[in-house]
Amino acid sequence: MQKLILILCAGLLLQCQQHSATEKPLPADFKTELWYKHSLIYNLDVEVFKDSDGDGIGDFQGLVQQLDYLKNLGVDVIWLSPFQPTPNRDDGYDVADFYGIDTRLGTRADFDEFMRQARQRGIRVIMDMVVNHTSDQHHWFQQARRSKNSPYHSWYVWSDKQPDNWDVGMVFPGVQKEIWSYDKQAGAYFYHRFYNFQPDLNAQNPAVQREIRKILKHWLDAGVSGFRLDAVPFMIEIADPEKKDYKPQFEIIDMLHKYIQWQRGDAIVLGEANVAPEDQKDYFGEDDKGMQMMFNFYANQYLFYALATGQLQPFIDAMKATKDIPSAAQWAIFLRNHDEIDLGRLSDKQREEVYARFGPQKNMQLYDRGIRRRLAPMLGDPRQIRFAYSLLFSLPGTPVIRYGEEIGMGDDLRLKESESVRTPMQWTNAPNAGFTTGSKPVKPVISQGEYGYPNVNVATESQDSTSLLNFISDLIHLRKQCPEIGLGTSTILDTGNPNVLAIRYDWQGQSLAMVHNFSTQTQQLQLPLAGKSDKRLVNLLEKTEVRAGPGGAYPLSLPGYGYQWYRMKL
């Protein structure tokens, strides 16, 4: 018996040593199932990240080669864009087999090795789950179109006649022509919110729901820590060819949440749901029923309005409108993602103001609502770029960054639609940016101009202490020292200055104050902080201190696009 106890204790000690070697220690009472609240999520597309064999296509072996780079950057979670077999007409979002690995990217053994190597470094992996639609080449659709008697026919949404709303509600207006397309083989119209080669699955069908659960289990068993669920509002809608307004079926979100939690208690769903604040509660749910995370598209749109115009109040209003979420829920916050910057919720006047500043040329705009540029060329001013990243890492929620943004990559506006921001990662100043040793990369590498790989690449910036890469890496590691941001309560302070945003965070007796000047001019303010007047503000960026003035407020001066992170101490 004594020998058995010693063996068990040794095993527990080994587990603790392994844990401490890969993860930063957290407070004793911290719940590890809330890992998504104190993480940095890094989104990448394997196809364009790193090629290991010279065929011009990124692969999982190449990704493994760069895991130490991601670990050193401070990445906690890798979000993988679609990597399953696909005709690749929509950058992999047209999935032809939900259980497989695109052979261009490697084998299942390569994927498993990547998962093992990521796990050894304490990096979690979440993956895109695109179950709103399939490729029209998926064997389900191929069988569904052959006969109405096929068991797969009801897996999709059909209409014998062209619905009246056949051209209403398109996701890609100006590019997409319809949401109901005629299929000659089936002799019927099929429903698709996206391109006509992506028929929507009928998620109301119990057989489809069972299959989705099987897919989720397959990848949870492979070790993923959750899913970025694509196009959630469209996945849960009840499509009726007789009606223009489609009702959402929120029970599907509840079903997926419960199933994922049953399979793996700490796994999460990060939802792509661009919804109005009044609808967010239906997606987050109550009593642990909804998605744990969603992208805060609403606040993001007003953030870009503030960055473009300096008018801060609409952004403050948007943050307040999206603040009331369940305690276990979290917003994912971002500057750029893999799509266009969606400005659809701004007024026409506001959108035109953002266009005028960030996308004045027509080829910079997309779908009559967005901008298809990367952050660095769009903002232009190095001061504002660094200001924007300080803001990103200090806003309420979990920060998400897209590959290449940390080095200030540019865009290629010659490419169609969102392809402009999906060019290969720029590693070195070697041919093809060190992405591939082959002569023909899968997508054009940015080689010319200010943002060409001879000027913008990881190797060069790693050696420059003043580079954007090192600046962002330092911010990421500073953010990890400030758990109050992801875990605490936030309060927007009245600075008395319409150009300055100040947010206070409180968690477990610790307090932070994050201050950002959206103006190009120096701004003075008196920062009000409730509490003991003998507290001082310790500047986490410059290692200086500020003490309260006679009125109890803290006098601050911020240069144009200036920012400071403060911790309150006695």
pLDDT digits (tens, 9 = 90+) for 47-65: 999 999 999 999 999 999 9
Tell me if 96 sits within 8 A of 135, measured CB to CB: yes
Mean pLDDT of 158-162: 95
**330-334 and 398-402 beta bridge pairing:** parallel
- How many angstroms separate the most distant Cα atoms in the chain? 81
Instruction: Look at residue 534 in the predicted model and tell me its pLDDT.
Output: 65
Task: Give, in words, the CATH class of 139-191.
Answer: alpha beta
Q: How far apart are CA 493 and CA 514, in angstroms?
A: 10
DSSP string over 117-168: HHHHTT-EEEEEE--SB--TTSHHHHHHTT-TTSTTGGGB-EESS--TTTTS
Counting every residue written for the chain, the total comes to 570
Residue 11: its pLDDT value, please? 38
C-alpha triplet 523, 527, 532: angle, nearest 5°: 160
Strand order in the sheet with 365-366: 341-342, 370-371, 365-366
pLDDT tier for residue 549 given thresholds of 50, 70 and 90: confident
Q: Which CATH superfamily is domain 488-569 in?
A: Golgi alpha-mannosidase II (2.60.40.1180)
What per-residue confidence (pLDDT) applies to 532? 58
Amino acid in the structure at residue 427:
W
Give dist(CA 190, CA 146) in Å, integer: 13
Q: How confident is the model at residue 548 (pLDDT cuts 50, 70, 90)?
A: confident
- Its sign, for the CA torsion 254, 255, 256, 259, is positive
Query: In the structure encoding, which two tokens stand for residue 269, read together?
Result: 């769903």
* Gyration radius from the chain CA atoms: 24
Mean pLDDT, to the nearest integer, of 320-343?
A: 95
Give the DSSP letter of residue 553: P
Alpha-carbon distance 302 to 315, whole Å? 5
Tracing tokens 């106890």 back to the chain, one arrives at 5
CA distances from 84 to 111, 193, 359 (A): 11, 21, 33
pLDDT at 273 over 90: yes
Q: Judge whether 146 and 185 are in contact, CB under 8 Å.
A: yes
| CATH 3.20.20.80 boundaries in the chain | 2-132+203-480
Cα–Cα distance, 122 to 128 (Å, whole number) = 20
Fold of 2-132+203-480: TIM Barrel (3.20.20)
Alpha carbons 49 and 458: distance in angstroms, whole number? 12
Average pLDDT over residues 499-505: 97
Residue 562 pLDDT > 60: yes
pLDDT in tens, 456-498: 999 999 999 999 999 999 999 999 999 999 999 999 999 999 9
Residue labelled with tokens 């499509």: 239
CA distance between the termini of the chain: 52
**pLDDT class of 144 with cuts at 50, 70, 90:** very high
Burial of 116: CB neighbours in 10 Å, binned 0-12, 13-18, 19+: exposed
Phi, psi of 141 (to 5 degrees): -70, -35
Tell whether the model's pLDDT for residue 206 goes beyond 90: yes
**Cβ pair 495, 503 in contact under 8 A:** no
The 3-state DSSP class for residue 261 equals helix
Residues of the chain with CATH 3.90.400.10: 139-191
Tell me if residue 230 falls in helix, strand or coil.
coil
523 phi and psi angles, rounded to 5 deg: -125, 140
Indicate the range of 11-15, 287-291, 301-305, 516-520 predicted with least confidence: 11-15
User: Average of pLDDT values for 177-193?
Assistant: 96
Q: Residue 524 — φ and ψ, nearest 5°?
A: -105, 145
Asked if the model's pLDDT at residue 99 lies above 90, the reply is: yes
CA atoms within 13 A on the CB side of 312: 18
Q: What are phi and psi of 282, to 5 degrees?
A: -70, -25
Q: Which residues are catalytic?
A: 230, 272
Phi–psi pair at 3, nearest 5 degrees: -65, -40
| Interacting residues of 15 by C-beta distance below 8 A, sequence separation 6+ | none
Please report the sign of the dihedral spanned by the C-alpha atoms of residue 232, residue 234, residue 239, residue 245: positive
Compute the distance between CA of residue 365 and CA of residue 360 in angstroms, rounded to an integer: 8
